[in-house]
Structure 1
């Protein structure tokens, strides 16, 4: 019996989650540090593109009138089949380049949020965009949900057509993971006082990650193991929930099923979940749905 059928037989809620399209805004690898802006490449990072393509229905690579970032043949093909958007979002005004580019990335998220509320999130990290400048204290009023060594992603050289085919065949497992991650975010931001509810949400998320590890083993292409961090507008510091406070103060929580699934191909890997204070983005009002995601590849998986 396939993983989807097994979950359907054991999980009464399986298949009942929303399948509305979800999109991720991706950026060329770049960073802001102090008074400087560094653009590592005018293209998208190949690993970041493949990781994002696997888990998201739509991708957007916004352009601007300050920096020329041409499409590759791969991007043109994704645009042609309707998976990728590459709109030009004009920037105006002067100022320091680091401020202009930071504003450009913030504007991209607010632009897509206004186009389709709750659908789009932004990518971030060393293979995308990262702001290394110290953020003001008030911006640390968000929450980060981190999965360590729990998510399989395709290697940078896997053909895009293979990823699209896998998504078509394993849509159920991909949707169930996304649904349980969203459910965890909602459970935390609802500020309930039930430790048991958080435990159930984590158990479901663990099972979804474990299923993904198992189904990617059928793939004949290289797979890597990654961390993923989702950021949302919920202030842990002001939460009155004793359950959320207890989870915030814990070092981490083991993902036992995921760890067992990984052990079949890679020994000695610990899979964990943790919540912690993070940066917020108050220009959008989404306390229960992450607005930012970061993927970080950690090792080969089999």
Structure 2
């Protein structure tokens, strides 16, 4: 039996994940709310839950530092810095501290994404960065939200165990990431409703695989939502020739629901118009991620 045939019969991911998978990185922040020139900091370190979410799905983390308002690394951050996973480049801007922190986050995303187009994203949400105004355009982008379909390690899981999980379950993680990122090009190139259904089925299978391995592993995980924002206008998402599809639709994820033990279709994906950062380029890869926890698996 040839090597390719042997692998295809023993590895369910063989041929389904591109041979060349690029690094993916995310710009992270402590729980900060920025409203104009006002800054409210709930913590001075990265939130433990945010850090574990970011570590599970991304290869590199960047936490911009600033000489005007400095947040020192804690034990978790120092551990990841020593492992070469987290870096803290300086992004100091003149003017008020709140605007400087916001500019630092966005400029770090722009700089790193220019070096590796489509490979970097921003983390936002209650446990990360919330920018109230001044940097976004309403209804200029599109969001994909996976409801009750993603396992996330609990806030107190040791970081070393998450790294071990990533090593052992690399294929499932890459398979999920590949199909999440491929969903928008699949929709944009769809000619039939069956093409959309096929793309949804693939992300459904990827979510189900993640939920299954999350249930099997030793440390506790939450069942969560994952929202990915893209800079593509919803009007350009699906060809106008494709009748019967409209942004705002929800699609049931039956395999993910079954894996999570949810009644009926408890997991779903929602596609809708959303914000876009003014400085974001028109990339098909998500530029911003937000998660929301539901319950423990």
On the 8 A contact 2:25/2:120 being kept in 1, the answer is yes
User: Which SS does the other structure have where 1:246 is aligned?
Assistant: coil
Query: Cα distance, 1:34 vs. partner?
Result: 5.8
Partner of 2:3: none
Query: Cα distance, 1:98 vs. partner?
Result: 4.4
On the 8 A contact 2:184/2:237 being kept in 1, the answer is no
Q: Does 1:79 align with 2:81?
A: yes
Partner of 1:226: 224
Partner of 1:22: 24
C-alpha separation in 2, matches of 1:244 and 1:129: 38
Match of 2:212 among 205, 211, 214: 214
Where does structure 2 lack aligned partners over 5 or more consecutive residues? 1-6
Partner of 1:49: 51
CA offsets 1:176-221 (integer angstroms, 9 cap, x no match): 0000001102223x35443222211110000000001111122111
Partner of 1:127: 127
C-alpha separation in 1, matches of 2:91 and 2:190: 40
On the 8 A contact 2:66/2:101 being kept in 1, the answer is no
C-alpha separation in 2, matches of 1:244 and 1:33: 41
C-alpha separation in 2, matches of 1:218 and 1:68: 40
Q: Does 1:291 align with 2:284?
A: no
1:135/1:79 Cα in 2 relative to 1: closer, same or farther (>3 Å)? closer
Where does structure 1 lack aligned partners over 5 or more consecutive residues? none
1:85/1:134 Cα in 2 relative to 1: closer, same or farther (>3 Å)? closer
1:185/1:244 Cα in 2 relative to 1: closer, same or farther (>3 Å)? farther
C-alpha separation in 1, matches of 2:85 and 2:265: 34
User: Which SS does the other structure have where 2:44 is aligned?
Assistant: coil
On the 8 A contact 1:17/1:179 being kept in 2, the answer is no
CA offsets 1:33-57 (integer angstroms, 9 cap, x no match): 3653211111000001001101111
The 4+ residue runs of structure 1 with deviation greater than 6 A are 4-7
1:82/1:240 Cα in 2 relative to 1: closer, same or farther (>3 Å)? closer
C-alpha separation in 1, matches of 2:291 and 2:9: 28
C-alpha separation in 2, matches of 1:25 and 1:123: 6
Partner of 1:261: 259
User: Which SS does the other structure have where 1:248 is aligned?
Assistant: coil
CA offsets 1:262-300 (integer angstroms, 9 cap, x no match): 11xx65771010111111135242431111111111111
Q: Does 1:156 align with 2:152?
A: no
Q: Does 1:88 align with 2:90?
A: yes
Partner of 2:276: 280
Match of 1:201 among 195, 199, 202: 199
User: Which SS does the other structure have where 2:167 is aligned?
Assistant: helix
CA offsets 1:248-269 (integer angstroms, 9 cap, x no match): 142x110000000111xx6577
C-alpha separation in 2, matches of 1:86 and 1:175: 26
Partner of 2:176: 177
Partner of 2:266: 270
Q: Does 1:109 align with 2:124?
A: no
